[in-house]
Amino acid sequence: MALFLDSANIDDVQQAVRLGLVAGVTTNPTLMAKTGRRARDVIQDILALTTGPVFYQITAGETAARLAQAHSMARLAPDRVVIKIPATTENLALAAHLKGEGISCAMTAVASPAQVYLASLAGATYAAVYVNRLTRQLGDGIQVVRECVAIARTNPIRILAASLKSVEEVVATLLTGVSDITIPLELILRLGEHELSRKAIEEFAAYTEQPSAG
């Protein structure tokens, strides 16, 4: 299970890279807008800081324009840029087209195992499922993820869990057997902490040898 950073903030990317834990970086239009910069420039900077996959979501209204966006971004690093495409029937056809051109795709905003099945047939590498959002909209995002994972067991696609808001939600999602998760830096940092670990460290400190004066 790979861990991805979900951020378009360059400071976040630098800190996550220093931790040595993330396999790559996912972005989305909301995160891009927060930077106040051109998406192309942000993706170029992230590519320069990392060695793994970097995800960019196409946003144009017309199919031809979405295709042009995908080509433009993929050319920045053909072996590393993953094009995120919102899950619709029309966009599944677009993903199949890009797959035929050797461009890696992630169907995003996936909300059902049926979409996972079709995304696998289209040749998408990833299906991104918004866990917390589905819980708010349907009542049980974890169950949706569990069903998506079951489909992926017999179809060539990776389930990428996104929209995770707490340590508990991350753990529950990992237990479904997802392929990968993507979370913001703040949540990555929280995963590595526990009050009992801190308490044990404080207890160990009482027995730490002090360096001798000589």
Burial (CB count <10 Å: 0-12, 13-18, 19+), residue 190: middle
The alpha carbon of residue 115 and the mean position of all alpha carbons in its chain are separated, in whole angstroms, by: 18
Distance CA 29, CA 156 (A): 27
Q: Exactly one of 34, 84, 99, 199 is catalytic; which is it?
A: 84
**Closest Cα partner for 166 from 181, 178, 176, 177?**
181
Backbone φ and ψ of 211, nearest 5°: -60, 140
Distance CA 1, CA 23 (A): 10
Half-sphere exposure of 65 (CA within 13 A, CB side): 4
User: Would residue 84 show up in a list of annotated catalytic residues for this protein?
Assistant: yes
Residues marked as catalytic:
84
